Amino acid sequence: MRCIRQVMVLVVILIFFSPGQAKAALYDEIQESLICPACLDDRMTVAACQDGTAEKARQDIQKRLSSGQTKDEIIQAYVAEYGEVILAFPQKSGFNLVAWVLPPVALLGGTFLVYYAVNNWVKNSQKRKPRKKKQQVLDSVDEDRIHEEMLKYL
């Protein structure tokens, strides 16, 4: 009974982790990593494009995988033929690294800037609130002067 259970587990593992499924996943990854040569302006991946050129690219990718080339080798072959414009995502090296690093840095910087501006705004608004002034008591000289001025015009 124990032996049968072990065999069943082994069969299930082989079914889920078969080399065919790994190649299919690799095939899908490569299709999503490359832009169709005919759709460079539209930036459609080989997987999404229904053009005849995309079909030829899919067949070429399948042929290269069958011949034993790795994902990197296939992608580098396309880059050598069409240039880096064929890549769906910029490479994570050199100047292209800016495309990967700049958006999160800009988001953090913008968040800090908004926080600083709002914090400064709140502090300034608290400083500008009018304070109640103490009522000044007039001395007798000022009261007499006000009284004289009022009598002149009334």
Residue ending a domain, choose from 89, 114, 139: 89
Residue ending a domain, choose from 73, 89, 105: 89
Same domain for 32 and 61, yes or no, is: yes
pLDDT at residue 118 in the model = 92
**114 is in which domain, residue-wise?**
96-153
pLDDT at residue 13 in the model = 64
Per-residue pLDDT of the chain (154 residues; tens, 9 = 90+): 667 777 676 666 655 555 555 667 788 888 888 888 887 777 888 888 888 888 898 899 899 988 988 888 998 998 898 888 888 877 777 777 787 788 999 999 999 999 999 998 888 877 766 666 666 777 888 888 888 888 888 7
The CATH number given to whatever domain includes residue 27 is 1.10.8.640
What tokens does 56 get? 């030829």
Residue 52 neighbours by CB under 8 Å, 6+ apart: 38
pLDDT at residue 131 in the model = 65
Same domain for 47 and 85, yes or no, is: yes
Same domain for 43 and 10, yes or no, is: yes
Same domain for 114 and 79, yes or no, is: no
pLDDT at residue 107 in the model = 94
Hey, which bits of 1-42 come out as E strands? none
Give the amino acid at 36: C
Same domain for 13 and 81, yes or no, is: yes
Residue ending a domain, choose from 89, 121, 144: 89
Same domain for 7 and 82, yes or no, is: yes
Same domain for 101 and 84, yes or no, is: no
Task: Find the DSSP H helices in 34-132.
Answer: 52-66, 71-82, 97-127
pLDDT at residue 113 in the model = 95
pLDDT at residue 12 in the model = 61
Q: How many domains does the chain have?
A: 2
Contact status, residue 31 vs residue 60, Cβ threshold 8 Å: no
Same domain for 102 and 74, yes or no, is: no
